[in-house]
Amino acid sequence: MPELPEVEVTRRRIESLLIGRKIASLRTTRDSYFFVTPTARLRAGLRGRTFSTLERRGKYLIAHLDDGARLVIHLGMTGQLFSSAAVGPRLLSATARASLTPAEQRRGFRPDEHTHLRFAFADAGPEVYMRDVRKFGKVLLLPPGQSHPRLDLLGEDALGVSEELLFSATRKKKAAIKAVLLDQSVIAGCGNIYADESLFIAGVRPGRAAGRVRRAECGRIAEALRGVLERSIETGGSTISDYVAPDGVEGAYQDERRVYARDGEPCRECGTEIRKKVVAQRGTHYCPTCQR
C-alpha cells in the first residue's frame, strides 16, 4: 500500500504534468464506489478547467483547479497516477505486470478497464492516467468553497510534526504512544512502518502510555519520524509492498529498516532479537533493549 512517501513521490513526479494544463476532456470507467463524485459530475466539473497546484495532506493528493474546486485523490492500495508518455512495464505493480503478456509489457501500457481516469489536455501533450487494479482508491471533486469532513479532520502532516505538537497531543493520554502516532486526527500520514521505525530511533517502547512520554522524547520521536519519511521520499518510496513509484524506479528503503518486519533478527544496534507484538491493533516491532 502506498504510504506517505510514495504519495509524496507521486505528487512530485506528476505535478509538472498537471500544473498549468487545461483539461480538454476526462474519460472515466463506469460509476462505482471508486467515484465518490458521480462520473458525469466529475467530467462536467473538470472539462475546461486548469490545474493550478497539487498538494498532499497525509495520504491524500489534492489538486486545486482554477475555479477554486479541488480534486481529491486517494491512491488506496494499488492506485497509480502516471503519464501516457512515460510508461513501461516496471511502472505497474507486480499484480498489474502479471496480468500483461510479455508482448504487452514491451510495447508499454495502454489504458485498460482498470484505468479509471484519463485526462486529455488542450495542449495535446501527454495524457495523465489513474489506474487502480484493486480499486480501493477514491476520487472526489469538491466544488469551490466546499469542505469535506475527512479532510478537515486530518491533523498535522507527518512531515511537519514537531516536539510541541506531539507533547501536547500526548498529555494525560493512557493510549499507547504508537496509537497516538497512528491517529490521523493528530498526525496525518504516519503509517505503521514509520511509527515503528521512528519509535526505535527515539528509543521509546511503542506500548508505553503516551502521557508518560517525556517532552525530550517527543522531540526525538518527531525528529525521527520526519527523518525516516524524508529519507524514504529521497529513495523513491518504499518497496515493502508491491507498490512501484510512477516512473517504475523501485524504492530502496526496505534495506534500511531497523525494526519493521525484522522480528527474530538481531537489532542492528545491540544484537538483541527484535520482537513483534500487537500494539494499537497493529503488528508492532521493537528492540526490548534499545527501547524503554
What residue ranges bind Zn ion (CB under 5 A)? 267, 269-270, 272, 287, 289-290
Q: At closest approach, how far in Å is the CB of 265 from Zn ion?
A: 11
Residue 150 or 268: the one with the smaller Cβ distance to Zn ion is 268
Measured CA to CA, the distance from residue 292 to residue 286 in angstroms comes to 10
Residue 82 or 286: the one with the smaller Cβ distance to Zn ion is 286
Asked if 282 is an active-site residue, the reply is yes
Whether the Cβ atoms of residue 186 and residue 273 lie closer than 8 Å to each other = no
Residue 37 neighbours by CB under 8 Å, 6+ apart: 45, 139, 140, 141
Q: At closest approach, how far in Å is the CB of 275 from Zn ion?
A: 10
- The DSSP output letter for 158 is G
Asked if 2 is an active-site residue, the reply is yes
Which position among 49, 56, 59, 205 bears the catalytic label? 59
H/E segment holding residue 17:
helix 4-18
The SS3 call for residue 32 is: coil
Q: At closest approach, how far in Å is the CB of 270 from Zn ion?
A: 3
Q: At closest approach, how far in Å is the CB of 288 from Zn ion?
A: 8
Which position among 2, 5, 206, 246 bears the catalytic label? 2
> ∠ CA(205), CA(209), CA(212), 5° rounding?
95
Which position among 3, 6, 197, 217 bears the catalytic label? 3
Residue 85 or 270: the one with the smaller Cβ distance to Zn ion is 270
Residue 168 or 289: the one with the smaller Cβ distance to Zn ion is 289
Determine how many CB atoms are found less than 10 A away from the CB of residue 145: 8
Which residue of this chain has its Cβ atom nearest to Zn ion in the complex?
A: 267
Nearest alpha-carbon partner for 228 in 1, 5, 56, 57: 5
Catalytic residue ranges: 2-3, 59, 282
